[in-house]
Chain A
Amino acid sequence: MLKVIKIRKGLDIALFGAAKPQITDLKADCYALKPKDYVGITPKMMVEEGDSVMIGSPVFFAKEKPEVKFVSPVAGVVKSIMRGEKRALEAIVIEAKGEDEYVDFGKADAKAASREQIVEKLLASGCWTLIRQRPYSVIPNPAASPKAIIIKGFDTAPLAADYALLMSDCGTAFQTGIDAISKLTDGKVHLNIGKTSSADCLLKAQNVQINVFEGKHPTGNISIQIEKLCPLNKDERIWYLDATDVVTIGRLFEDGVFKSDKIIALTGEQVIETGYYRIKRGSSLAQIFKDNVKSEDNRFISGNVLTGTRIAADGFLSAYDNMVSVIREGNQYEFIGWMLPGFKKFSISRTFPYGFLRFFCRKPVSIDANLHGGRRAFVFTGEFEKVLPLDIYPLELIKACITEDIDKMEQLGIYETDSEDFALCEVIDVSKTDIQQIIKQGLDLMRKELGE
């Protein structure tokens, strides 16, 4: 029997619009790589508009780590290179054309291959970008060796996708992927699953230490799992990746190609017909959203409602996401809204009925993206601790980030976290501070000053 690691603190937010367990195949016309999905990357283009690419053709590389290449998820033509402010690269849009043509990277036996061969193959095929490093959530330096690798096999975010469906056609590829990445570290490879996980390939995985977690969100976050399994100290590195990405790596070794297919969940209150879609990475979501969302002012999010990226109605799936959410924008004035009883409003504070009800029933709640108030200085204390299951003083860390006090940030344990861990703090903050942004800037500052 596997040991269950229980986490007491946290908050589950039940929302309308969970994905129905049905998988639909979908082929989009347009695909995009968004360099901003990757932390600390300055993209250097390897293609121009009009160039033809195959699945697995390099599109750009990272200036900081030239060996790290980002590849096309689709065969077609580079349609446009979109730039934003200061000519920062926003997206490289690729239009699908013809059949799926793959760049052949050659099959290999993951068990027999050496570390160098595996690293080389991952780098060449773009699969290296699926791995990330703590601290900072950056794509790791291939020369380094982490003290452990963690595979995330469950998600606790609101409306999170079920890994049993996400992994439903993984075949033997998941095990192959584990065999490959276990060569990358001298330490342990952990596979973390939720208590209710039913995905067969996760439960039967070999060559890894399987850890079962039980608890509310953010139990599914890597930082919380790391603290319980192998606390991250200064000067240490841990690598992590998603279980679905392990499958992609497995396929690389089994088939010799970069299989860019993945399954995502379409969720959210504003979606008419929720479900799962089998699409390619970076897929345009226009077809999925079209005629399938309620005709209100909507907010489209790649990812979950806590940490996801806001995208347009014809936007693209972000690199590490396996779900999309659609909620109401809620950009309306509300007459004396702060005074009303607010029977239908979401709040964990017991100043609203929901604050009491949530203890008794798990009824979903309707939400929108409204701030529900004005920005203030921090006034209330001791609240963030309720939703942050880390041995960290959140308010103190946030203040250290605001004052850019690097020593303090380090002492208070910023290495052990990422902005996503503070999403719930941000949700419940009475002062409506953009906490994730503050932590992100703090981490950026650390990274620039001290290196990865």
Chain B
Amino acid sequence: MKRMLRNMFDNLNKKTAKGTKLHWLHSTVEAFESFTFVSKNTAASGAHLRDAIDMKRAMSLVIIALVPALLFGIFNVGYQHYLSCGETIKEVGFWAMFGYGLLKVVPMIVVSYVVGLGIEFAFAQRRGHEVNEGYLVTGMLIPLICPPDVPLWMLAIAVAFAVIIGKEIFGGTGMNFLNPALVARAFLFFSYPSQMSGDVVWIADKADAVSGATSLGEMMTGSVLPSSSLLDMFLGFTPGSVGETSAVAILLGAALLLITGIASWRVMLSVFVGGALMGITFNLFGTNAYMNLPFYYHFLMGGFLFGAVFMATDPVTSSQTNTGKYIYGLLIGMMAVLIRVVNPAYPEGMMLAILLMNVFAPLIDYFVVQANIRRRTNRWKANADNKEMK
């Protein structure tokens, strides 16, 4: 089996080598080959031993961390649908709900991967690079942060926009300054506002009689507390984007990311601290119901948790210095709550907060690095002065 695959790839490599007619398929073959076999390339210069980790392992761990949220999301899509039709889990059964969710979510994932990876492969070929694994994560994130009822054609356009404008024109994974998954979400949000907001999209094929408002929507319209209980919000039995509803599932993923060290604990922690700080501030000076909402509700409503764990921690678009990560995370948390509570137009602040801080992350880094530079220059100047004194 191993040998057969090896021979197959050796053959394919020959057929797509430079100068052959099929050369345009080279990076595609390379991508699949490197998934099957770790390359035999050895260190040509520098250190003669290298860590066994590579981008594939790192990125696939993020995908594994997303699995709990994905599985619960699939179930919840079905659960909410049947609930809106007045049927409970006792009547239809778990598998019917899960099956319904599969029918909704799997096409979203397929569209996201096919469109996104297609573009990635094309760009890798054009640049003569290997295909970067980054999109494997982005491609999974996009369906999870979309409402279950998003039309697939919109999703396809959003994915294409995110990959090309959000990433590839800057040079691909590692060079982008905006989180591509959030670019896709923002694109949907701003291009198709009528289909993307309101109470309709959060429950797939919702029965008309039922309000499909999310907790955030309810708070926007002046409720004192969301209608879902804290426990429901924690477990995830609420309407919302596919992967964002269950705190339990997201926290499982967060645990994996933190144990393996793939995601930055600095960012994650400071997002929560920022959110809590802002929430508590509002609680202290609260003049309306939303301001008086206990701050911990913010963690459980909408995409706060999902954003903190999976989006804000994207190493490429977050601050790159460790000091910067604290500031970056803190501001995301504060901004998210601020936008939610104060802003009259958008119910969800997390997406905008992260995108905004993505833009400012290089500036934060600039100041952090500048402090280091100043320290060095001062030392040099002090030294030069000393010499003159002598």
Q: Tell me the minimal C-beta distance from A398 to chain B in angstroms.
A: 11
In the complex, which of the residues A350, A376, A380 contacts B130, with contact meaning CB atoms closer than 8 Å? A376
In the complex, which of the residues B6, B47, B133, B383 contacts A236, with contact meaning CB atoms closer than 8 Å? B383
Task: Check if A376 sits within 8 Å of B45, measured CB to CB.
Answer: no
Q: Tell me the minimal C-beta distance from B180 to chain A in angstroms.
A: 13
Q: Tell me the minimal C-beta distance from B271 to chain A in angstroms.
A: 16
A416-B146 Cα distance, complex, nearest whole Å: 49
A429-B34 Cα distance, complex, nearest whole Å: 18
Contact with A along B108-140 (1 / 0, CB 8 A): 000000000000000000000010111000000
Task: Check if B376 sits within 8 Å of A352, measured CB to CB.
Answer: no
> Which residues of B sit under 8 angstroms from A350, Cβ to Cβ?
259-261
In the complex, which of the residues B47, B261, B365 contacts A427, with contact meaning CB atoms closer than 8 Å? B47
Most buried by B among A339, A352, A371: A371
Task: Check if A373 sits within 8 Å of B43, measured CB to CB.
Answer: no
Residues 25 to 50 of chain B near chain A (Cβ within 8 Å): 34-50
Tell me if B107 counts as interface (CB < 8 A to partner A). no
30 A-B pairs, CB-CB below 8 angstroms?
A327-B48, A331-B41, A333-B6, A336-B38, A347-B53, A349-B58, A349-B262, A350-B259, A350-B260, A351-B260, A369-B42, A371-B41, A372-B53, A374-B55, A376-B55, A376-B132, A379-B132, A379-B315, A380-B58, A381-B264, A382-B320, A393-B321, A395-B320, A396-B365, A412-B372, A423-B47, A424-B47, A427-B47, A428-B53, A430-B53
Q: Tell me the minimal C-beta distance from A195 to chain B in angstroms.
A: 25
Binds A, one of B92-100, B169-177, B237-245, B282-290: B169-177
In the complex, which of the residues B6, B174, B319 contacts A378, with contact meaning CB atoms closer than 8 Å? B174
Tell me if B56 counts as interface (CB < 8 A to partner A). yes
Task: Check if A431 sits within 8 Å of B40, measured CB to CB.
Answer: no
Residues of A within 8 A of B (CB): 13, 158, 231, 233-236, 299, 301, 305-308, 310, 325, 327, 329-339, 342, 345-352, 354-355, 367-382, 385, 391-393, 395-396, 411-413, 419, 423-424, 426-432, 434-437
> Which residues of B sit under 8 angstroms from A429, Cβ to Cβ?
50-51
Task: Check if A434 sits within 8 Å of B44, measured CB to CB.
Answer: yes
Q: Which 9 A-B pairs have the closest CB atoms?
A: A373-B54, A377-B174, A337-B38, A436-B46, A345-B52, A381-B320, A333-B37, A233-B380, A347-B52
Tell me if B325 counts as interface (CB < 8 A to partner A). yes
Task: Check if B2 sits within 8 Å of A306, measured CB to CB.
Answer: no
> Which residues of A sit under 8 angstroms from B356, Cβ to Cβ?
none
Task: Check if A437 sits within 8 Å of B49, measured CB to CB.
Answer: no
| Nearest neighbor of B41 in chain A, beta-carbon distance | A371
> Which residues of B sit under 8 angstroms from A327, Cβ to Cβ?
48-49
> Which residues of A sit under 8 angstroms from B175, Cβ to Cβ?
377
In the complex, which of the residues A301, A393, A396 contacts B48, with contact meaning CB atoms closer than 8 Å? A301
Q: A233-B380, A333-B37 are in contact. Are A373 and B56 (CB under 8 A)?
A: yes
Task: Check if A393 sits within 8 Å of B38, measured CB to CB.
Answer: no
> Which residues of B sit under 8 angstroms from A13, Cβ to Cβ?
49
Q: A345-B52, A382-B266 are in contact. Are A338 and B57 (CB under 8 A)?
A: yes
Residues of B within 8 A of A (CB): 2, 5-6, 34-58, 60-61, 130, 132-134, 171-175, 259-262, 264, 266, 315-316, 318-322, 325, 365, 368-369, 372-373, 375-377, 379-380, 383-384
Q: Tell me the minimal C-beta distance from A233 to chain B in angstroms.
A: 4
- Interface of A, secondary structure class, is loop
Known contacts A234-B380, A334-B37, A368-B49; 20 additional CB pairs below 8 A are A305-B48, A331-B40, A333-B39, A334-B38, A339-B57, A346-B52, A352-B52, A369-B50, A372-B38, A376-B132, A377-B171, A377-B173, A379-B173, A382-B315, A382-B325, A395-B320, A430-B53, A434-B43, A436-B46, A437-B46
> Which residues of B sit under 8 angstroms from A334, Cβ to Cβ?
37-38
> Which residues of B sit under 8 angstroms from A376, Cβ to Cβ?
55, 130, 132-133, 173-174
| Nearest neighbor of A439 in chain B, beta-carbon distance | B46
| Nearest neighbor of A301 in chain B, beta-carbon distance | B48
Q: Tell me the minimal C-beta distance from B320 to chain A in angstroms.
A: 4
> Which residues of A sit under 8 angstroms from B322, Cβ to Cβ?
382, 385
Task: Check if A411 sits within 8 Å of B377, measured CB to CB.
Answer: yes
Q: Tell me the minimal C-beta distance from B69 to chain A in angstroms.
A: 20
Task: Check if B261 sits within 8 Å of A349, measured CB to CB.
Answer: yes
| Nearest neighbor of B267 in chain A, beta-carbon distance | A382
A379-B318 Cα distance, complex, nearest whole Å: 11
Q: Tell me the minimal C-beta distance from B166 to chain A in angstroms.
A: 15
Task: Check if A379 sits within 8 Å of B134, measured CB to CB.
Answer: yes
Q: Tell me the minimal C-beta distance from A128 to chain B in angstroms.
A: 27
A337-B37 Cα distance, complex, nearest whole Å: 7
> Which residues of B sit under 8 angstroms from A351, Cβ to Cβ?
53, 57-58, 61, 260-262
Q: A337-B37, A376-B130, A377-B173 are in contact. Are A346 and B315 (CB under 8 A)?
A: no
Q: Tell me the minimal C-beta distance from B378 to chain A in angstroms.
A: 10
| Nearest neighbor of A325 in chain B, beta-carbon distance | B48
In the complex, which of the residues A299, A374, A411 contacts B54, with contact meaning CB atoms closer than 8 Å? A374
A334-B41 Cα distance, complex, nearest whole Å: 11
| Nearest neighbor of A375 in chain B, beta-carbon distance | B130
A377-B103 Cα distance, complex, nearest whole Å: 36
A355-B266 Cα distance, complex, nearest whole Å: 20
Q: Tell me the minimal C-beta distance from B328 to chain A in angstroms.
A: 11
| Nearest neighbor of B34 in chain A, beta-carbon distance | A374
A376-B264 Cα distance, complex, nearest whole Å: 20
Task: Check if B46 sits within 8 Å of A435, measured CB to CB.
Answer: yes
Q: Tell me the minimal C-beta distance from B315 to chain A in angstroms.
A: 5
| Nearest neighbor of B262 in chain A, beta-carbon distance | A351
Q: A382-B264, A393-B321 are in contact. Are A370 and B376 (CB under 8 A)?
A: no
> Which residues of B sit under 8 angstroms from A330, Cβ to Cβ?
40, 42
